[in-house]
Amino acid sequence: MTYFFDGSKDAFLTAFLLAYRDEDAFLTAGSRQLALGQQSVFVCADTQKARKCEARLRGFDTACMHDLDMLLRSGEDARGQIAFLYFRLIAARRRAVRGELAEDAVSEAIGCIRRVALEAHRLKGFVRFMECAGGALYAPISPDNDVCDLLLPHFRARLPQLPFVLHDVRRAKAAVWDGAHAFTAPLARADVVLSADEEGWQALWRRYYASVNIPSRRRLQQMKGYMPVRYWKFLPECPAQTADALTTQNASPARCADAPLPPHGSAR
Amino acid sequence: MFDFFAETCYTVAMIAEETLRILTESAKYDVSCSSSGSGRRNAGGIGNGMPDGCCHSFTPDGRCVSLLKILLSNDCVFDCKYCMSRRSVDVPRATATPEEICELTVDFYKRNYIEGLFLSSAVHVSPDATMEQLVRTVRLLRTKYRFFGYVHVKGIPKADPLLVTEAAKYADRMSYNLELPSESSLKLLAPQKDKASLLAPMKQLQRERAVFRAEKRRGSLLPAGQTTQMIVGASPERDGHILRLAERLYRATGLKRVYFSSYTPVVQDGLLPCVQSPAIREHRLYQADWLLRFYGFDADELLPAEEDLPPDIDPKCAWALRNLHLFPVEVNRAPLETLLRVPGIGARSAQNILSARRYTALSFEHLKKMRVVLKRARHFITANGKFYGAGDMRTVRGLLAAGECAAGARQLSLFDAEAALTARTGEV
Ligand code: SF4
């Protein structure tokens, strides 16, 4: 039987209770092509059942809800099933199984959690804020996994006096620090007026980026290994262009076509 | 909700783009990019330390951009042969004001371009005058601009010890670059510097840190410690000599890190080689350095003083091949220290093995599933009694070198995602 759920924690836990004894259970938070005659059910979150299930699982492994939170943030289609198999093993063994990496269910789940954590970690570096006219900072991101609120505490600790918005344009949501409160909110579109100096600082940054590169060493593969191309879209330093323009060393690096935002532009 | 986007205008003094270009072009050959080691807290301003460091971008040369690396001035009174800022060359000169550097740092930082500042300078006017300006800049940054992000200050040799102490109050890390691996090379290529003028401030800072700790004062002095850098390939010293020097420095001055910089001919001089030192040499040195710092190796185990590291295989493989009598080891029983000495098994894999074998006897299948890279390791381990290696040393060496060469055709052995990680650190 295929169990569809909406990707939320409570719906997962409700589905888990239903599917636990089903040998052929398949949990998914996405859409799935069903084979002819295959049975499926849409599971809605049932808070009471979810709390009961959570308490049981916590009894086996106190830290397992953190794992679940990370797994459900994953952008992978298989996340529902990966989480299901992992939690079924916890329930079967009645203990934490995190270290049992020789088990498929565990290595899959831990791998998935690591990929989510890695992306959050990378974005701590790759987020680029733009300064708005009022002094607030705005950064569009488009992560593979649902991590924008994981970044909030990090930036809040270092920029306590500056309001900022981390805008996940892919999921149309934002993590916001307004100088006093941190929260997430749906955000389809933000109209942003940039500060007078923003363009100037971006130009200086592009200049800096181009001049610290050592053109005689070309290691593009290595560069892309550390900083996958899918993150380049929002980087004002325009890595693709610097990589191409290496031959004309002293030419001022121009703004690239898909640079984050034109002044007074908007992100969708 | 987003009313803080409301418009108010203000402007600040921005450094000129050309000044920035001149002052950063000459600073880029300092290879230290690390922003790790400091957990400085934000005390009502901008920024904090991130103990694990953070890479903000990568340039097409494969290096990480973590700090704003900039010189206060490139107008030097010294005349080091290898340096493009030396007195006797005719290049555009520029000097920035402390305020310009502070503004630049803060504005880059709040946009999340950088993790902090790496401030250095040519010897402008005199060592003391330069060091004073460096101190002024970092003091301003910490007090007036209330910046709590990472600050690395490169010390100026021959400056007054009091200025050194003062700079350490504000910096997270300081470094004096040894530049060359021996006194004689230094004399030849950097005539105004000598080993004592570089080692003395390092030792002074080491003492001051010890006193600070002993007195259990609040906060910490230079939380990210000291580092140094050596140019490799500009002078005749061999890898064995360089690694022994690094080992002594780790033990004697408590250095956090020794950086190696492949010599790049930016100036022509009869005393200097005119070819770029091969990148693979620098890479092997980092790998060996990693073995010294984290894997419990001694320089003596790795190679004799008058030899270079083999370019075709990594230093851990080379060591293992010389010590085949210690292998293969059984992954289900070997202690951590032994696992760490197996070529191809890094710290993460070793920990995973330790953790997984508590529940089940590990087979090669299990290891594969756990993403332990077996290409090299299989020659040195058994799993549940099974061995899949080549057995004799010559075959193994051939296989390992061939593996590296295949990757080397794409410039170095750095290019798959896993290897990409190890390239930065030198982990093997
Ligand atoms: S002291 Fe030597 S290495 Fe430093 S800037 Fe001057 S000439 Fe260059």
State the ipTM, two decimals.
0.89
What integer best gives the mean pLDDT of chain A?
89
The per-residue pLDDT for B396 is 80
Q: Is residue B32 part of a domain?
A: yes
For the CA atoms of A61, A100, B370, A65, the dihedral, rounded to the nearest 10 degrees, stands at -10
Whether residue B308 is contained in a domain is answered as: no
| Residues in CB range of B310: below 8 A, 6 or more apart | B284, B318
Positions of chain B with pLDDT lower than 70, given as ranges: 1-12, 391, 403-428
* Contacts with A81 (C-beta within 8 Å, 6 or more apart), sequence order: A26, A27, A28
Q: Best mutation site among A97, A189, A211 for testing chain B: the one with the most B CBs within 10 Å?
A: A211
Q: Are A38 and A74 members of one domain? A: yes
Do B386 and B289 belong to one domain?
A: no
Co-location of B241 and B385 in the same domain:
no
Q: Report the distance separating Cα B118 and Cα B346, nearest Å.
A: 30
Residue-level pLDDT at B179: 86
pLDDT digits (tens, 9 = 90+) for A39-72: 899 999 999 999 999 999 999 999 999 999 999 9
- CB of B228 closer than 6 angstroms to any ligand 1 atom: no
Q: Which residue has the higher pLDDT, B388 or A247?
A: B388
Say whether both B355 and B236 belong to one domain: no
- In the chain, the amino acid numbered B235 is S
Kindly determine whether residue A214 and residue B264, on different chains, have CB atoms separated by under 8 Å.
yes
Residues A185 and A250 in one domain: yes
Whether B228 and B375 share a structural domain: no
Residue B86 Cβ inside 6 Å of ligand 1? The answer reads: yes
Q: Which residue of B has its CA nearest to A241?
A: B60
Nearest chain B residue to A202, by CA: B108
Choose one of A119, A135, A164: the last residue of a domain.
A119
Report how far residue A143's alpha carbon sits from residue A145's, in angstroms, rounded to the nearest whole number: 5
Where is the domain boundary, B302, B333, B362? Answer: B302
**Residue ID of nearest Cα to ligand 1 atom 1:** B78
- Residue A152 φ/ψ, nearest 5 degrees: -55, -55
Tokens of B224: 């990210």
| A71 and A190 together in one domain | no
Of B71, B76, B89, the one to substitute when testing ligand 1's pocket (max ligand atoms within 8 A of C-beta) is B76
Distance CA B81, CA B79 (A): 6
d(CA B20, CA B262): 24
Which residues is A141 bridged to in the sheet? Answer: A168
For every residue of chain B, which 3-state class applies, written as one string?
CCHHHCCCCCCCCCCCHHHHHHHHHCCCCCCCCCCCCCCCCCCCCECCCCCCCCCCEECCCCCEECEEEEECECCCCCCCCCCCCCCCCCCCCCECCHHHHHHHHHHHHHCCCCCEEEEECCCCCCHHHHHHHHHHHHHHHHHCCCECCEEEEECCCCCCHHHHHHHHHHCCEEECCCECCCHHHHHHHCCCCCHHHHHHHHHHHHHHHHHHHHCCCCCCCCCCCEEEEEEECCCCCCHHHHHHHHHHHHHHHCCCEEEEEECCCCCCCCCCCCCCCCHHHHHHHHHHHHHHHHCCCCHHHHCCCCCCCCCCCCHHHHHHHHCHHHCCEECCCCCHHHHHCCCCCCHHHHHHHHHHCCCCCCCHHHHHHCCCCHHHHCCCEEECCECCCCCCHHHHHHHHHHHHHHHHCCCCCCCCHHHHHHHHHCCC
Judge if the beta carbon of residue B76 lies within 6 A of ligand 1.
yes
Of B267, B302, B337, which residue constitutes the final position of a domain? Answer: B302
Residues B223-232 pLDDT 10s: 999 999 999 9
**Does residue B65 form part of some domain?**
yes
Whether B310 maps to a domain, the answer reads: no
Q: Are residues A190 and B2, on separate chains, in Cβ contact within 8 Å?
A: yes
**Shortest CA gap A63–chain B (Å):** 17
- CB within 8 Å: A133 and B7: yes
First to last CA, chain B: 50
CA distance B382 to B330: 5
- The rounded Cα A190 to chain-centroid distance in angstroms is 19
Taking only the tens place, the pLDDT of each residue in A148-204 is 999 999 999 999 999 999 999 999 999 999 999 999 999 998 889 999 999 999 999
Res A156: pLDDT: 97
**Contact assessment for residue B258 and residue B228, using Cβ atoms and an 8 Å cutoff:** yes
Same domain membership, residue A251 and residue A209: yes
Q: Give yes or no: residues B165 and B268 share one domain.
A: yes
Distance CA B312, CA B265 (A): 24
Map residue A147 onto helix, strand or coil.
coil
Decide: helix, strand or coil at residue A138: strand
Is the CB–ligand 1 distance for residue B309 below 6 Å? no
Residue ranges making up the domain that contains A233: 127-265
User: Does B234 sit in the ligand 1 pocket, CB within 6 Å?
Assistant: no
Are B244 and B321 found together in one domain?
Answer: no
Q: Are residues A105 and A144 in the same domain?
A: no
Residues B290, B346, single domain; the answer is no
> Given the CA of residue B156, which atom of ligand 1 is nearest to it?
1
**Beta-carbon separation of B65 and A209 below 8 A:** yes
Sign of CA dihedral A214, A218, A222, A225: positive
Which amino acid type is present at position B387? Answer: F
C-beta atoms of A214 and B410 within 8 A: no
Q: Do B21 and A203 touch (CB under 8 A)?
A: no
Q: What is the largest CA-CA distance in chain A?
A: 67
Residues B105 and B249 in one domain: yes
Same-domain check for residues A142 and A100: no
Find the largest Cα–Cα distance for chain B.
74
Looking at the structure, tell me whether residues B368 and B219 fall in a common domain: no
B222 lines ligand 1 (CB under 6 A): no
pLDDT (0 to 100) of residue B57: 96
The verdict on a CB contact (< 8 Å) between B59 and A213 is yes
Residue B12 has what pLDDT?
Answer: 55
B327 and B392 fall within a common domain: yes
Instruction: Please give the backbone phi and psi of residue B51, each rounded to the nearest 5 degrees, phi first.
Output: -55, -30
**Is residue B348 within 8 angstroms of chain A, CB to CB?**
no
Q: What pTM does this model have?
A: 0.86
Within-domain flag for B263: yes
How far is ligand 1, taken at its centre, from the CA of residue A121, in Å?
37
Range of the domain at B230: 5-302
Q: Beginning with the edge strand found earlier in the chain, give each strand of the sheet holding B257-262 in spatial order.
A: B67-71, B116-120, B150-154, B173-175, B226-232, B257-262
Q: How far apart are CA B228 and CA B254, in angstroms?
A: 11
Let me know whether A185 and A110 are in one domain. no
Listed as own residue / partner, the contacts of A46-53 with beta carbons closer than 8 Å and 24 or more positions apart are A46/A10, A46/A14, A47/A10, A49/A13, A49/A14, A49/A17, A50/A9, A50/A10, A50/A11, A50/A13, A50/A14, A52/A17, A53/A13, A53/A14, A53/A16, A53/A17
- Which tokens go with B166? 């003062």
Enumerate the β-bridge partners of residue A27.
A3
Among A233, A245, A219, smallest CA distance to B59 is for A219
What is the whole-number distance in angstroms between the Cα of residue B76 and the centre of ligand 1? Answer: 6
Report whether pLDDT(A31) > 80.
Answer: no
Inter-chain CB proximity B9 and A133 less than 8 Å: yes
Domain closes at, from A60, A94, A119: A119
Domain boundary (A66, A84, A119) is at A119
> How far apart are alpha carbons B296 and A35 in whole angstroms?
57
Torsion of CA B294, B298, B303, B309, to 10 degrees: 20
Judge if A161 and A231 occupy the same domain.
yes
Instruction: Calculate the alpha carbon distances from B96 to A114, A169, A264, B19, B44 in Å.
Output: 43, 39, 32, 7, 27
Q: Tokens for B119? A: 């401030």
In angstroms, what is the span from residue A218 Cα to ligand 1's centroid? 26
Among the partner residues B8, B58, B355, nearest to A226 by beta-carbon distance = B58
- Write out the H or E segment, with its range, that includes residue A167: strand A164-168
Distance from CA of B16 to the nearest CA of A (A): 8
Q: B68 C-alpha to center of ligand 1: Å?
A: 19
CATH number of the structural domain spanning residue B224: 3.20.20.70
Helix (H) or strand (E) holding A186: strand A182-186
Residues of chain A contacting B50 with CB distance shorter than 8 Å = 124
Q: Domain check: are A131 and A261 in the same one? A: yes
CB atoms within 10 A of CB B212: 15
Cβ atoms B331, B358 nearer than 8 A: no
Indicate if B293 and B255 belong to the same structural domain: yes
Q: Which of B169, B94, B180, B109 is nearest to B139 (CA)?
A: B169
Which of B273, B302, B331 corresponds to the end of one domain? Answer: B302
Domain count, chain B: 2
Could you tell which of B23, B75, B86, B88 is best to mutate to test the pocket of ligand 1, judged by most ligand atoms within 8 Å of the CB? Answer: B86
> Do both A30 and A99 map to the same domain?
yes
Q: Cβ–Cβ of B276/A128 closer than 8 Å?
A: no
Does one domain contain both A26 and A100?
yes
User: Is the alpha carbon torsion for B169, B170, B171, B177 positive or negative?
Assistant: negative
Closest to A127 (Cβ–Cβ): which among B10, B112, B352?
Answer: B112
Query: Does residue B398 sit within a domain?
Result: yes
A106-161 tens-digit pLDDT: 999 999 999 999 999 999 999 999 999 999 999 999 999 999 999 999 999 999 99
Domain count, chain A: 2
A113 shares a domain with A44: yes
Distance from chain centroid for Cα A16: 24
The answer to whether residue B56 is domain-embedded is yes
The residue nearest atom 7 of ligand 1, judged by CA position, is B86
Whether residue B83 has its Cβ less than 6 Å from ligand 1: yes
**Local structure of A168: helix, strand or coil:** strand
Phi, psi of B276 (to 5 degrees): -65, 135
Same domain (yes/no): B191, B46: yes
